[in-house]
Amino acid sequence: MNLKALYQISYGLYVIGSRKGDRRNGQIANTVIQVSSEPPTISVCINKGNLSHEFIKDSAVFTVSILSRDTPLSFIGRFGFKSGRDVDKFDSVNYKIGETQAPIALDNTLAYLEARVINEVDAGTHTIFIGELVAAEVIREGEPMTYAYYHQVKRGTTPKTAPVYIEERKEVGIKAVKYKCTVCEYVYDPEKGDPESGIAPGTPFEELPEDWQCPVCGAGKDEFEKED
């Protein structure tokens, strides 16, 4: 069995919002699909260990913000690599409270959905929540983020065999050493820098400010190790 076959499945990237009473939480998920259209029904698969799982179980509602392709890594990291148990992830994020009273992230969002859970399936480590739509809006035109794009382009994990990778190296003509975050696997590529944090392309890892943080998970420089 070659599990790499699974990598060929296409996904998008979403912020899932949920609530428990007045408490709100959000997390990144790539597992939203439309299940049927009459009535419009979607599903999302959530890890049982996540706070969002507890919240959706409790309130039986969830929201889906469909992220645009130009969503900054820091935004995805905020929802993806931190726990709602430690921080209020919607603090300093544009959002609104929907018809379900659950939060809907609006930053970097092309469109959103709100659903009421009508069924759930125990899938071992995860639960698949099936929800009927109660609201849906398009916010703006744009290209949605795909899981593949996020991994290959945004996180810099383009395989070294990829033609695009080889050409980039030739053009710049420098020996650029990449560093990988041991927490989230983000790869710092000196050729690209970290423009979102004001780090210009061409900045070697060694010359990053000491207080520079992983744009995805917020880990410090000492959590990084050299990539061969």
- Contact set with Fe ion (CB under 5 A): 181, 183-184, 186, 214, 216-217, 219
Which amino acid appears at position 139 of this protein? I
Cα separations in angstroms, 188 against 19, 179, 212? 35, 5, 11
Minimal distance, residue 212 CB to Fe ion, in Å = 12
User: Cβ distance 147 to 10 under 8 Å?
Assistant: yes
Q: Is 186 exposed, middle or buried (0-12, 13-18, 19+ CB in 10 A)?
A: buried
Q: Closest CB to Fe ion among 15 and 181?
A: 181
Q: For the CA atoms of 84, 71, 14, 77, what is the dihedral angle to 10 degrees?
A: -30
Q: Closest CB to Fe ion among 132 and 227?
A: 227
Minimal distance, residue 124 CB to Fe ion, in Å = 27
Minimal distance, residue 221 CB to Fe ion, in Å = 11
Kindly report whether the peptide bond that precedes residue 39 is cis, defined as omega within 30 degrees of 0: yes
Q: Closest CB to Fe ion among 45 and 183?
A: 183
Q: Closest CB to Fe ion among 115 and 216?
A: 216
Please list, in sequence order, all residues whose beta carbon lies within 8 angstroms of the beta carbon of residue 203, skipping any fewer than 6 positions away.
Answer: 190, 193, 194
- How far apart (Å, rounded) are the C-alpha atoms in residues 69 and 85? 28
Minimal distance, residue 214 CB to Fe ion, in Å = 3
Q: Closest CB to Fe ion among 53 and 78?
A: 78
Minimal distance, residue 186 CB to Fe ion, in Å = 4
Which amino acid appears at position 24 of this protein? R
- How far apart (Å, rounded) are the C-alpha atoms in residues 51 and 84? 6
Cα separations in angstroms, 78 against 26, 73, 82, 126? 9, 8, 6, 22
Minimal distance, residue 179 CB to Fe ion, in Å = 11
Q: Closest CB to Fe ion among 134 and 183?
A: 183
